[in-house]
Each structure stands twice: as structure tokens, then as C-alpha cells.
Chains A and B, each alone.
Chain A
Amino acid sequence: MSKLITVSPSPHMYGGDNVKKLMYGVVLALLPAFLVSVYFFGIGALIVTAVSVVSCVGFEYLIQKHLMKTTPTITDGSAAVTGLLLAFNLPTNLPVWIILIGALVAIGVGKMSFGGLGNNPFNPALVGRIFLLISFPVQMTSFPKPIVSRTQYTDAVTGATPLEIIKEGISEGIPLSELMGQIPGYFDLFIGRMHGSMGEIGALALIIGGIYLLARKIITWHIPVSILSTIIVFTGILWAANPEANADPMFHILSGGIMLGAIYMATDYATSPMTPKGMWIYGIGIGVITVTIRVWGAYPEGVAFSILIMNAFVPIINKYIKPKRFGEEVKNG
């Protein structure tokens, strides 16, 4: 035969997904929530997102090219996802220079110092967020008022998030029934009309994106469902025990960063477990720690901390929690 043919081991057919498609799938899934943020926070949402995405991609490029001396892989979309998720975790009145610091910590410390995509033990966007929260507590906890601050950036009118109002109030001994009057109604929480980080508002839009991620098989249901159900059960018990001192489960899942965390942050590939059983343990851990921080901790919100804490357990979960092997239960039969 005159022509050369390829000889390679099976399989000879491949699925349609690649890293780039998965990453841009996440970007697409975040689009509805982004539009909601732009609707409520206007110009601030646009600036924060643009700065965060561009700086994350830029830092990754610079670090890979000049420090690691490798071919930059920014086109795989993972730095853009980190940038987008970092933006979603920031208030929309955050000055540019603080965002740049956050992006550098997220990409430089959170991701590249461990070797880049797939090797990082902690969610890079959350590493950036927590670094900023601890370093710039004032700027990181002043949240613009929705709608009225559309045309303002750093000069936006700010206020407290529903979680802050409830936490503050309960610690001062104000009954919950009174506090609930000071926060937006559940429908407003559901669509996103509230003070909060840019992308954590708008449960509805986040759920729509989540359904897309599930349908495209970019994530599985295990992590979001285990986190949300743990939070519902845990806060449900507290609420049933003392409804005047503890908010109901609906309030908990609609406020703060739970939807964003459960669907988009905790499901980050490199920092979450590999098996369904492992994902349940991880999700339950996140749920329990989140509620513990919210109810008894110093911070009103605990999603970011709880995900980072459970990230630390992922290697040990992967080591000891094995998938159910085929033919296992009758091994010695």
C-alpha cells in the first residue's frame, strides 16, 4: 500500500467536549445572573466585571509567560471564569485598584502558585475574595442599593444586606418578625432586588444558569443539591426550635451567596471531590459550616469560608471515598 495510515490504540472516537467548551459553558451559564446584576447595579457591575476578567486573564498570561516561562493557556477560558466569578463575589462599588489586588491574589496565589488549572486546592476566585474581605473589610462590606445606584460607581449609595440586617438585629435582641419588615420580600430576594455582592443576588437567574450547566452535563446535581438540602434541613430545625430568633430556610437559601456558591463556586472541578459520595460529604460540610457561621459566627455570611474549608478536605475525601465498584458487594461470594 502506498499511503500511510495511522495506527493508534482504541478508542478511535471522542466525545465533543473539551476544556474550552466546558469553560465557556460556565461563562454562558453565568450570563443571566450577569444581566440581572447589570439591571440592578448598572455601571458598577460593568466596570467590576470588565476589570476583574481582564486582569485575571492578563495576570495569568504574564505569570505563564514571564515567571513560569511556559506557553500561556489563557484561551482555555479558565482564567476568564475565575475573573467572572471573582467579580460576582465583589460589591459593585469596589475601586479598580482593589479589584486588581484581588485578581492578582486569585490567579497568582490561588491558581498559578500551585501549577495552574487542575492543580489548585482552593477555589481561586474565593481565595481572592477572602483575601480582600480580610484586607479591606470596609470596602468589601458596603453594598450599593439596587436600581438607584445604576449610574454611580464608587460613589453609590450603600446599605446593609439582608443577612447583615438579620444578624445585627438578632444580636441586639430584636424579634425576627420585626426584622423581616426591614428586608426585601422573598420575591425581591428571588429576583435579586437587594443589597449584595454583584453576582450573588438573583437566585432565579442563577438557577436558570444552573439548569443549563446540568443539561450540558458540565456539572452534576450532587454538590448543589447536597449543599441546598443541608442548609434547608439545618436552618429548618433551628427555625422550628425558635422561630423568633432564627430565620426560616427560605430566607437562608434566597439571601447571600448560597445559590452562587452551591451552583458555581463549590462545583469548581479541581477543588471538589471526584465521586458522588465524596460530593455529598463535601456538600453537607459546606452546608453545615455555612449555617454555623451565619447563626453563631462573627460574619453574617459564611458561604465563601465554608467552601474554602471544605476545599481543604477534598484530597482526603478523594483518597478514602471510592466509587461503588462493579461486582463489589459479592467480592468474596
Chain B
Amino acid sequence: MLKTFPKGGIHPAEHKITAGKPTETLPVPKTAVIPLSQHLGAPSTPVVKKGDMVKAGQLIAKSSAFVSANIHSSVSGKVTKIDNVIDTSGYRQPAVIIEVEGDEWDEKIDPGKTLKKEITISGEEIRKRTEEAGIVGLGGATFPSHIKLSVPKGKKAEVLIINGAECEPYLTADHRLMLEKGDELMVGITLLMKALGVEKAMIGIENNKPDAVDHLTSLAVNYKGISVHALKVMYPQGAEKQLIKSLINREVPSGALPIEVGTVVHNVGTAVAVYEAVQKNKPLFERVVTVSGKSLKNPGNFLVRIGTPVSELIEAAGGMPEDTGKIINGGPMMGKALNTTEAPVAKGTSGILVFPASDSKREEVQKCIRCAKCVSICPMGLEPYLLNAASEREMWEIVETDRVLDCMECGSCSYICPSRLPLLDYIRLGKSTVSKIIRSRKQ
């Protein structure tokens, strides 16, 4: 029996049409637009000014708070301005704009492809390099990774969990990374284990990627303490709490972090970034992005410099199809619809999906027929129909006591609803309102 989480979940059509496409390196853009807010937490403070010449890998903005991250230039060239531009969030946010000249990398970076396996530095130094390199969770949450590497006092990490589930339909960036950079991944995991002081790491991969499971299983014999686990194909298998439940059968309490149950979760992409940062001195300035969609001529996986406009990725995938109706940053279940193709790729951009108009509009909403499907599929054990109705009627007390804040916005309820009710829209409204109420209560 494949491991899985016991409660809820759905199985949307997978559409992993780019699974067999090896990662191609996208050309460096002519202009790189590097947002200062690419991570969860405070925006970074720029350390370059208009007219400065920068190299790829050079620090251009530094972490400004406890929860924040460094940002490095992804290209070489001249800083032309620091301005507000619309990024993948859909809002105007400050960004460093660099006119590209050549492709010169910071000389500290080792650009070679040879695997560097031996680890010469301490756990604390690994954590520091991760912080310096501006690494954030590459699965999409973009939480600064170094924070997760410092275990709070009184807590103990027992096992590192590596998220290779990639449960979102369409996305295959992690899949390709596991196949193409397996050894780098393994060294990266070993580094993370050392930083956390754990002896054991478990990689969880949804079983629709048997080649990745086999490949990593065969590599794992050469690395101490790492095991590979095939997981049932069930969305949201890659959600942090669900993945922990699937792999070590522990439930992270409501409102708590994974360390509460003795574990820390990192994405496979993050582990490879840590390898590059520590072993190759390369800060995080490029990533693999899946560009996919039913109407694209050449969907694929691309290694892209941060700051490349989304339009260039769509060009590389064969150009914008005639029938395009929606462009999504991320997966179809949790991704965000873009309002412009000029938005730049950020650290958290795992995919760019181009949807035809026929799949872009919502269907007509009918009344709730109380079929209970939303209750049975909610992986957090919530009652989406009730949270929806209570939020709609502004009954915030019910919304709060029925635990709206446990919702991780996986979208399974809206997906399954036969009446096409916008359940998650109202639940989000409930979440933000209840958060505000709780904050005002504390004051």
C-alpha cells in the first residue's frame, strides 16, 4: 500500500504533459526585472543604485527583517532604475531593473557542473550560506529557508522531510529536477540534515513519477540516512501537513509548525539550491519553471533567470496561443492568475500555465444541495459549505470556531462542488476577517 494521508483529498486530471521534456536553458533576458518582494515576509532593502554595474550572483538587496531574504542579481549589466512594477502578485511592487550586458558571473561562483560531494563546513555555516544565498522555499510558499534550519530552543528535529510530491496538475519542474540533478539533490539533503542535526531524511514523491522514485532510490544507497517513499497520487499530497502525516503519521497541531512534531520540510528544489549555494557558492538567481497548457506548441521545463518576463517563457514554449484566456503563475489548484505577461519570474514561480479561454471562465453557480462532498474531501477536516455560508452572512464567530484559520486554501472544495459555489473565495474572506478580529482582540 502506498503511503498517503487518511482524510480527504481529490484526484484532479494530472495533465503532466511536460514530464518527458528535459530542462532547457532559457536565454538571458535583455532586461531583468528583479522584485524586492519575492518571499514571505518583509521586502528586501536594495543595496545598489541607479547606474551601478552588477554581475550575476551579486547581492542587490539585503534581508530587512527576521523573516526576509537576500536577493541577488540574476544577470550582469547596469541598474537602470529601481521602480514599482507589476509582479506575479498582480500588484505594483518595488523592483531592481537591470539592462543586461553579456553574462558575467560573480567570480566566487563555481560554474562547473562536476558534483562536489564532500562537505567541509559546519551545520551553522550551512545555515549561514543558505541565508546569504537568499534561498526561500521553492515549492511555492517562498518562506525563507534559513529560518527553518534554526531549530527553536526546546524543540528537536528528528527527521528531515523532502517534498518531491509535486501534486499540482501540469507542474513537472520538480520531477525534472529529481531526474536531472539527483546527486546534487542528495548532497543538498545531506547538507540540510547536517544543518538540522538529524540522522534521517525521507523524500516523498507521488507515484505518478515512478522514474524519479526509482532514480532517487538507486542514488540513495550512496547517501547515509536518506530514504525514498512513493506516495499515493492524491491532491494535496505535497501540502506540508499532509506530507508529514503521510510519511511519519504525525499530525501537526492546528496553528503549529512541523517542528512541533519533530520534523522540518523542504522542497526538492530548495535542497538543490542549498547544494549550489554551499558547494558551488551560487546564490539563488535561477530556477526551473514548467511552462505548460493544452494549446501551447512547445510546452516544456525551462531553467530561467529570476527577473525574466513571463512573456519570454511563453515565447520559448511556442508563443501565446490564439485561444488564450488565462495565464497562471503556479499550479492550477493554488496558482495565481496573472494580470500581465510582463510580470517577472520570481523565486517562487514553479510554473506558468497558459489556459485556453474555454477553461478560463467559471461556470454558473447554483444553490448548495448539501451533498457533503466538500466535507468529505477537505484534507483539514473542515466544513467548507458551512464556512462559506457563515462568511457570506458575516457570522464571523461561527467562521472562527469552526476553524477557518486551519484552511490552507488547497482549493479542493471549490474543485469538487457540483453547484460550482465559490467556496474558497468566501473562506478566504472568512480567513482574513477572522485574522483581523483576532488581531484587534489582542490589542
Contacts and interface: CB of A to CB of B under 8 A. Distances in A.
* A and B: bona fide binding partners: yes
Contact of B372 (A7, A9, A274, A332): A274
Contacts of B253: 327, 330-333
A282 to B, nearest CB: 12
Contact of B418 (A7, A17, A116, A329): A17
Nearest to A16: B13
B114 interface: no
B254 interface: yes
Contacts of B335: 10, 12
Interface string B317-335: 0000000111110001111
B355 A326 contact: no
Contacts of A76: 366
B262 to A, nearest CB: 12
Interface in A298-333: 322-333
A22 B369 CA distance: 11
A270 B336 CA distance: 33
Interface string B334-370: 1111111110000000000101010111110011111
A14 B169 contact: no
Contacts of B402: 322
Interface residues of A, number: 46
Nearest to B401: A322
A79 B336 CA distance: 39
B404 to A, nearest CB: 12
B380 A325 contact: yes
Nearest to B8: A326
Contact of B355 (A12, A325, A330): A12
Interface residues of B, number: 75
Contacts of A6: 325-326, 337, 357, 360-361
A275 interface: yes
Contact of A9 (B360, B403, B417, B424): B424
A13 B420 CA distance: 11
Contacts of B49: none
A241 interface: no
B375 interface: yes
A243 interface: no
B415 A324 contact: no
At the interface, is chain B mostly helix, strand, loop or mixed? loop
A333 B114 CA distance: 47
B7 interface: yes
Contacts of B431: none
Interface string A176-192: 00000000000000000
B381 A323 contact: yes
A66 interface: no
Nearest to A14: B415
Contacts of A325: 254, 380-382, 403, 406
Nearest to B368: A118
B332 A11 contact: yes
Interface of B: 7, 10, 12-13, 90, 169, 241, 245, 251-254, 256, 260-261, 311, 324-328, 332-342, 353, 355, 357, 359-363, 366-373, 375-376, 378-383, 385-386, 402-403, 406, 409, 411-412, 414-420, 422, 424-425, 428
20 contacts: A1-B341, A5-B360, A8-B360, A9-B336, A9-B337, A10-B336, A10-B409, A12-B360, A15-B416, A15-B417, A22-B418, A118-B369, A118-B370, A269-B372, A270-B370, A276-B376, A323-B381, A326-B251, A328-B251, A330-B261
Interface of A: 1, 3, 5-15, 17-19, 21-22, 73, 76, 78, 116-119, 217, 220, 269-270, 272-276, 322-333
